[in-house]
Amino acid sequence: MLDSPIDAFKNDVRFRDYIAHVETIPAKKASFKKIPDLNDKIVDYLDSKEIKLYEHQADTYEAIKRDENVILTTTTASGKTLAFNLPIMDSLIDDEKATALYIYPAKALSNDQLNVLKDLESDLDININPRTYDGDTPKSQRYGIRQKSRVILTNPYQLHLILSWHHQWERFYRNLKYIVIDEAHYYRGVFGSNVAFLIRRLKRIANFYGSEPQFILSSATLANPLELANKLTGEEFTLVDNDTSPSGEKDFILFNPFKNYRNSAESSAPSIHVVTADIFRYLMLKNIQTLCFTVSRKTTELIAMWSKKDAKLTDGKLDNSRIAAYRAGYRPEERREIEDGLKSGKYLGVTCTNALELGIDIGSLDAVIISGFPGTMMSTWQQSGRAGRSNQKSLAILLAFENQLDQYYMNNPRAFFSKPQEKAIIDLSNPILQEAHLLCAANELPLKKGEAMKYFSISDDILDSLVKKDDLYLSRAGNYTYKYDDNPAFDHSLDQISSEEFKIMNNRQLLETMERSQVYREAHEGAILINKGETYTVDNVNLKSGYVNVSKKNVDYHTMVLNDTDVNVVSKEFKKQYGDLTIHFGEVSVKKDYYKYKKMQHSRVLGMYPLDLPPLKFKTKGLWFTIPKSVKDTLKKLYPDDDEVFEGGLHGAEHALIGLFPLQVMCDRFDIGGMSTAYHKDTEDATIFIYDGYEGGIGICEKAVDVFVELLESTLELIKGCKCRNGCPSCIYSPKCGNDNKPLHKKATEYILQYMLDETKKNNSEVVKEEIPLKDDEDLYSQALDLYSDHLYSQSKDILHEILSDDPNDLNANLLMAHVLYEQGIEDVSMYYARKALKISPSNQNAGQLLQKLQFAPASTDFVHKSIEHEDSHKSFDDVDTLYEEAYDLFEQGDYDTSRELLEELLSIDDTHVEATALMGYVYRMAGVFPKAVEYARKASKLDRNNEMVRELIKELS
């Protein structure tokens, strides 16, 4: 008997050697349950449609009718919508005034469910007038919807903007009985944390009008459904998770393009995107309707574009008009056309991001390709569940990238298929989100004393700080009100912590929008942007106006940006100790410098080009740990010929741990960042940092501290199991490494990880968690002043650099910096800062007195209003070297103007200083003054053309 088209793939000679594992998931029969005493209209409806309720649907119905908040977590296509629609319709039949609000994470889902509810309204012969209310709703219809509709479908984005108009919704809120939150698993990370605050704002308004709505949540299966439901709404829930729906047999294939590949200089690595396109085309040629999930918008467009081009070469066997790409950023009508095309069969193959992971009705598909592990098991099963909706045999193929996590699963299929779903993370402690939603809440209704704690678990101290910032007004009655006429909701995006938005323009037409960090990664000058299968070159970026101008251009390459990262400890919150290994957790500051980008043709590098972008700076939460000098000494003895063995081991450990983070914590690998260094001034030791990639943090690293031992074990297992000799993307390389994966040392990585794991097993010692008071970071200047008073001059100087990087003309910071440097004996630079303080405030006596002392008198210990006693000591410094070190520090801090002024002073003393001349070139390059940068590069080259810094500068300018 011939193979069916679904079975043929795993036996095809082109693909079978790369199959790591085939898991056949057997078909499952349904289990049904009857509900006694159902409403007659509902009984007639079920009979007319020949519907028998699954057991989990009946359980959900009964729990809702007991007035319990319910979260239903079952697989894709298990009938969750009917499970909550029927009891809601039952209540709306009995109570003709009752209303219900359905919240979906995407407009497409709302439109799907609107049709379902309209059919129910007709079949049950009730008047509920269901309507969607979102950005696409015509203004002419909105008043009627608010006055007449009993069931309204919306999304968090629309709700966020209209809550302040609640007085127009009084009828609806006064009678609000149900709030349905569908696809609840989607609300995690930054988006989920924002929506959790939004739901609390909604509850507060409903309570104001006298209603106490019941919550119904529908979700994919996950490890902590009750915790997610509670954090999302602040309510207690009943869980229904016994999936009793039927399913057809499915082959789930783990496909590893790198299965027989050995990393070496002689062989080029397979291109995962090319292999994905090959499989996608193969399935379509077999007339298998296929959905191909990719990890990015850019890849979605690339694979669709390649597949359309390849279709032209099939002599009519494949029609390229039946291939489409689907992703966020398209216009609503474009997305709906593709959704309808999948249902009707118009489209045979669609590439997409996780936008189609949601429960949008796209009909029954034969196969799903998942190009790269999507970051969570939950997403993986959601995506694979898109195939096989009518009990037919189906196919799911997971293609592995050459990264740590994908390769771990390819080599450990049992770990993949037995792994439980992850925990969804919602973090309500992010101060930026707290303040944003408090402003929105105060704009909607004045906040009374204690309401911030009641609804948001936030103390009134935060409200008082907003009053001090002049964002809120505290009335005599004790109410906090928003002071201004605008709507603060428009300034705060639910999808991100930053509120910055950039518009991508082509010939004055808006293509799409992005936030700043995405512009840095995908739409910097020189980048290739792909939109709806078309390629565009980025001509210019205006960071002030928020506009990015692009031009349409056909190219056969894409671009990838590189960055350099600096991390510093701001404050410690707690630590966990395992033997001599201590894992710290706290607040860190991050500076990311996007300094160059690569042009890539598939996996081949065509060229490297410099970028001139100001660094991104933000504070977040992270973990860090140190590696003792004894480990470094041992590695030096083991590998005496390798100068960077220790640095390579640290770097490799950082990459490998980050690569397997999603194995233990629910996140995407791009949600976290890291840095390793052989010496860090904050810890005074070799240190590895791993941090949440969002301002304020979103709880990822905090969860990781609890599972750090498990993370170590799986990471070490990965390194030992990788067959490469010197490291590869499957173990210690990182695709987003800002240093081009240099230096890396696989054996040193293994040694460091083994040392860490051994420490966790030592003496079976109990884990000790020590709470460390969080240092008040309200006033950085006060901290710097205290450190100065304690003679901790270097630490004080670090904080002052941070202040001056934000505001170079801060009088107090400049003046204190002058005194710090004076006490350190760095008199030339101290004089510079004293002069700068006088320039800012010509009548400042303190600056004048210090300048006089620097020019004519011995050192004194007087400073402002403080008297500081210390031993009189005067260090001797070489002026030129000191000036260079200070100029270099300022350059690293991003204070290019001050760095340039110090370098000018230095070069007036010694114009043969090679590094200073080269650094001046870098300063001008970062300032965008390229003729001057080239001038200093040439001067430095004449002084010493073989100097490494000079060579690097010339390379970046060429």
pLDDT in tens, 356-400: 766 666 767 899 999 998 878 888 988 898 888 656 789 999 999
Q: The whole model's pTM is what?
A: 0.69
Whether residue 264 has pLDDT greater than 70: no
Note the pLDDT of residue 440.
Answer: 96
Q: DSSP character for 54?
A: B
Neighbours of 668 (CB within 10 A): 17
Confidence of residue 873 (pLDDT cuts 50, 70, 90): very low
Confidence of residue 866 (pLDDT cuts 50, 70, 90): very low
Q: Quick one: three-class SS letters along 655-687?
A: HHHHHCHHHHCCCCHHHEEEEEEEEECCCCEEE
Whether residue 239 has pLDDT greater than 50: yes
Whether residue 209 has pLDDT greater than 80: yes
Confidence of residue 855 (pLDDT cuts 50, 70, 90): low
Mean pLDDT, rounded, of the chain = 85
Q: DSSP character for 271?
A: -
Task: Please provide the DSSP assignment of 355-368 as one string.
Answer: GGTS------BSEE
Residue 582's nearest CA partner among 546, 628, 537 is 628
Confidence of residue 664 (pLDDT cuts 50, 70, 90): confident
Whether residue 571 has pLDDT greater than 90: no
Which region among 29-33, 72-76, 443-447 has the lowest average model confidence (pLDDT)?
Answer: 72-76
The 3-state DSSP class for residue 165 equals: helix
Which region among 2-6, 96-100, 273-277, 852-856 has the lowest average model confidence (pLDDT)?
Answer: 852-856
Confidence of residue 424 (pLDDT cuts 50, 70, 90): confident
Residue 517 tokens, joined: 């960090």
Helices (H), 490-644: 516-522, 629-638
Whether residue 858 has pLDDT greater than 60: no
Whether residue 110 has pLDDT greater than 90: no
CA 334 vs CA 156, 339, 446, 856: distances in Å: 21, 9, 41, 75
Looking at the chain, the whole-number percentage of residues with pLDDT higher than 90 is 43
Label residue 503 left, alpha or beta by phi (over 0 means left) and psi (-120 to 50 means alpha): beta
Neighbours of 320 (CB within 10 A): 15
Question: Rounded mean pLDDT of 903-917?
Answer: 83
Alpha-carbon gap, residue 655 to 662, rounded angstroms: 13
Which region among 338-347, 760-769, 796-805, 925-934 has the lowest average model confidence (pLDDT)?
Answer: 760-769
Note the pLDDT of residue 263.
Answer: 59
Distance of CA 876 to the CA centre of its chain: 48
Residue carrying structure tokens 């189609």: 356
